Amino acid sequence: MYLHEDIFRIKQMMGLLLEQQQNISCDENGCSGRYLGPEFDNLKGDVAHQFSNSISQEVGKKLKQLYGNGLYSKVNFPQISMMTKGMGSGNVEYMVQIPFIRVQSKCESFTSFDHVGGWGHTPDLTKRKNELSSALLPNDQLDISDLKKTTEGLEEYWIQWRNKDLQKNCVSQKQTENTITGNSIRELREKIYKETTNISIDPNSVIIDMNNLTIKYSLGNVKIQRISIIYDNTGNLSSRLTNIRQKESSLKVIQQGLINDKELGNTEWAVIIL
């Protein structure tokens, strides 16, 4: 048994407040860390499990550093090891090793890292995948480990992906054309808002077919706030665009025209990129 763990246990027996110790070290071969201290804190919650957050942050930092140095890497999921000792006792030791493997190219590497875990329960992977979906490059996907467990009941999925800022040139060119269709101009605008917010596109690829309420675009390397449709059935589209441009100087009108919408009647419209 480690000496400082003996000290922690003596403090616990004496009713003294426990302190926590943690250390993380990283090199070009991976990161490893050790936490020793209380499992839970009345104010901070499951402080022992939060060590997974700490080491995930350091892994992400190291992967980015290696990428910048031309040592393209990713986490070697099968070789991750985790150990807990003392879960349920109030004072716990948690050790984890996260090794790297080298890859051949920039776009084979991963530079962001996270986890979803459960301290004595199964982690909610579906929720975490949804939370991280906005961090992905277009057409990319999360790389997720098998469920890792300790004998005492810590469960973790470890997750890595290509950072969409650092690796923006790794956008997949496969199946990059997207088509959005609505039953009315209102529905089309709602769909476009949901599907194009904070993505990267090729602005020259936008094709508009308002007679069939369809817009097509290809993914690319230009980050946008969104594509949107501004419409008006009172003859004031021009002034509406002027007002928006005063607030959003990046506004670019792609195409505009007139449509007989089934809900709004004769309606002026403009497709814009912000």
Q: Of 92-96, 109-113, 228-232, which has the strongest mean pLDDT?
A: 109-113
Q: Radius of gyration of the chain from Cα atoms?
A: 26
Tokens found for residue 65? 């550093």
Tell me how far CA of residue 95 lies from CA of 30, 75, 87, 109, 126, in angstroms: 14, 17, 12, 25, 26
Tell me which long-range contacts 2-5 makes (C-beta under 8 A, separation of at least 24).
Answer: 2/36, 2/93, 4/36, 5/36, 5/91, 5/93
Residues 159 and 182 in one domain: no
Q: Is the pLDDT of residue 250 over 70?
A: yes
Residues of the chain above pLDDT 90, percent: 38
Per-residue pLDDT band for 42 (boundaries 50, 70, 90) equals: low
Residues 27 and 161 in one domain: yes
The predicted model scores a pTM of 0.58
What's the domain range around 63? 3-169
Residues 25 and 148 in one domain: yes
Residues 79 and 215 in one domain: no
Domain boundary among 169, 188, 210: 169
Residues 250 and 155 in one domain: no
Residues 99 and 232 in one domain: no
Distance, C-alpha 85 to centroid of its chain:
31
Residues 11 and 144 in one domain: yes
Q: Identify the weakest region by mean pLDDT among 18-22, 205-209, 264-268.
A: 18-22
Domain count, the chain: 2
Residues 66 and 35 in one domain: yes
Q: Which of 85, 68, 70, 79 is nearest to 30 (CA)?
A: 79
Residues 29 and 62 in one domain: yes
